Structure 1
Amino acid sequence: MSATAANYTPAEVGAPDRFGELVAACEPFVVRGLCADWPVTRAASRSPAALLDYVVALDAGKSAEAFVGAPAISGRYYYEDALDGFNFERETIGVGAALRRVIDTAGVDDAATLYLGSLPTAAYLPGFAEDNAMPLLPATARPRIWLGHASTVACHHDNSDNLACVVAGRRRFTLFAPETIADLYVGPIDHNMAGQPVGLAVGAAPGDPRYPRFAAARTRAITVELELGDALYLPKLWWHQVEALSPVNVLVNYWWDAVGAGPDAPYTAMLLAVAAIAERPERERAAWRAFFDHYVFRPDGHPLAHLPEAQHGLLARGQGGRIRATVMRLLRG
């Protein structure tokens, strides 16, 4: 693992005993060998054929949508130049059939590349979670599987915490902290490859004149390389470009809210704020920014700390349900 930022390197631990402590710090970290003893990882370490046998034995026969790229894109699934389309096709295929095709065409010149991702193993590979247990996470965090040839997935963020486990091949993650968002030149939030907007500048050539602010962000990028059996924890909203480096690659990941205080999603709140505030006059936006800082982000602590706790009302701890009911009543007019 290496970091280009001189003042920050993700923590790296050989055993998971500090997992909860490091998750609470809301910064990335690597756990070497976390899933090395999983049956799926052991199968992949023996041979691609053994990996295929393992997956096919669990395959429920369901089909999913895969990305298929022409040889010319070299596995970099992305937009067309005008951002109005994509440089790959979509094909419906089963998990076992997809992995078989990946293995059969791995390293073959002029072969199309295939990428299949974010499949819940409970539906597609029943029994996988029980066979490859992850006791560090809550039971609600369920595994998803991603497989394909060597590929590059554009820089994006997740709205949940993410534990990514390499069970076949190798991966390289290029990370950018959430505060770099303006320097990444983020693309459309509702027209993208797989649900999340991407940082357009990250995959561009150095010095691209369309993205002048990215030069500073590039020097702050953090590069993490994962070998077979390694895992990376990514806090929510950390940007990451993901490169699958081997001819055959399989990743298993878990999404969950490590510090959630209720059912409400911050991203939903942000979108509502965009609709309500983003097009108001600059001075009014500045005023609302002050209110958001005071009531939501709280750089000076609780906004009613000067009052007895009994008088905190809606701002008291554990009032999410009352706030939600109030918001729904206001939205209904």
Structure 2
Amino acid sequence: MSGIVLEADPESLRDPESFRAGVMERCEPRILREAARDWPLLAGSDVRQLIDRLRRYDAGRSAEVFVGRPEIAARYHYDESLAGFNFERIEMPLGEALTRIMETQPGPDSASLYTGSLSAETYLPGIEQLTRLPFVPVSVRPRFWIGHASSIACHYDVFDNVACVAAGRRRFTLFPPDAIGDLYVGPIDRTMAGQPVALAVGSDRDDPVYPRFERARGRALVAELGPGDALYVPKLWWHQVEATERINLLVNFWWDGFASGPDQPYAAMLLAMIAIAERPPAERAAWRAWFDHYVFRPDGHPLAFLPPEQHGVLGNLAEGNYGRIRTTLMRMLRSN
């Protein structure tokens, strides 16, 4: 049985620092009810007015559009062989894509259309003035996702995500990061839109192909959002996204609220895969103990028994140790 995503305390939405401390540090999804209700972008209730507002900022660039045949019922996914996909990708000017989305009535005899991850600075420069949120850093630019009713396969992001419904309705179904082993995640290098997807999500109960999914099914959290509502999705939380109205527009913001520098945890994981994953089980267990001690730190800082001035490169990263460790690592990589 699925649970419901809790709503954030309004006090945590005052500014980026309050949001980071009150919401992001918990690493749990939260509904941000009516967080975007006062956006100038949403002035008026007619979806055509909203789309016309987008057109005023159109930079004239071409965008990739997913086109789904009627028989897939707008469920964008792999094909049955998992070697390809059940939709086409077509490049067209954004203005043309908006027209086709608005003028097409998806149904049993017509295709569905969807285009997403449209960065404001590339496709709609200046529109960020209409989508400010007080708790999102000013440097973070919005992205736009526009299309017919659709179901986007369950996936994760490597950045924290605030997703705002501007038109239509969205249903998010989320699973925690530690459910990964029960979700039957597909290939990491052949994906629909950048991230691997959880193949078991949406399967029938007791499907023999995905027996472990029954352990995850009851851990799902669901968030129902209408225009002006937003959802905070922490990095690595799995989420399936369903748009349920004829025309839907989502605006999202991605950023890493806890980065100490430019290096990403996912890159560290890939390096660990090639360095450790195929070593003998006993050696992998030994390295796991080292990772726990120095990286995940369940028992606290590894040099907590010494005064801070004796921590060396294990001291605070902001005090120059980030650069020292990175320099050492780059020297090691270049020597191989």
Scaled by the length of structure 1, the TM-score of the pair is 0.94
> Percent of aligned positions with the same letter in both sequences?
56
Aligned 8 A contact 2:58 2:125 in 1: yes
Partner in structure 2 of residue 331 of structure 1: 333
CA separation in 1, counterparts of 2:6 and 2:189?
Answer: 31
Partner in structure 2 of residue 155 of structure 1: 154
CA separation in 1, counterparts of 2:309 and 2:126?
Answer: 50
CA separation in 2, counterparts of 1:219 and 1:39?
Answer: 39
Aligned 8 A contact 1:175 1:238 in 2: yes
Q: Deviations over 1:1-28 (max 9, x none)?
A: xx824xx742344573463411222211
Q: Deviations over 1:107-126 (max 9, x none)?
A: 55411011100010111111
* Structure 1 position 264 matched with structure 2 position 263: yes
Partner in structure 1 of residue 75 of structure 2: 76
CA separation in 1, counterparts of 2:281 and 2:75?
Answer: 39
Cα distance, 1:204 vs structure 2: 1.9
Partner in structure 2 of residue 95 of structure 1: 94
Partner in structure 1 of residue 57 of structure 2: 58
Partner in structure 1 of residue 2 of structure 2: 4
Aligned 8 A contact 1:175 1:239 in 2: yes
CA separation in 2, counterparts of 1:265 and 1:19?
Answer: 22
Cα distance, 1:309 vs structure 2: 1.7
CA separation in 1, counterparts of 2:200 and 2:326?
Answer: 37
Q: 1:203-282 residue pairs with structure 2 within 5 A?
A: 203-282=202-281
Q: Which runs of 5+ in 2 are unaligned?
A: none
Q: 1:320 aligns with which of 312, 319, 322?
A: 322
Residue identity in the other structure for 1:28: P
Q: Which runs of 5+ in 1 are unaligned?
A: none
Greater Cα shift, 20-29 or 115-124: 20-29
Q: Secondary structure at the match of 2:331?
A: helix
Root-mean-square deviation (CA), in Å?
1.5
Scaled by the length of structure 2, the TM-score of the pair is 0.93
Q: Deviations over 1:67-102 (max 9, x none)?
A: 101000011110011110000001112222212211
Aligned 8 A contact 1:140 1:256 in 2: no
Residue identity in the other structure for 1:172: R
> Structure 1 pair 195/298, CA: closer, same or farther in 2 (3 Å)?
same
CA separation in 2, counterparts of 1:97 and 1:13?
Answer: 41
CA separation in 2, counterparts of 1:272 and 1:196?
Answer: 18
> Structure 1 pair 321/164, CA: closer, same or farther in 2 (3 Å)?
same
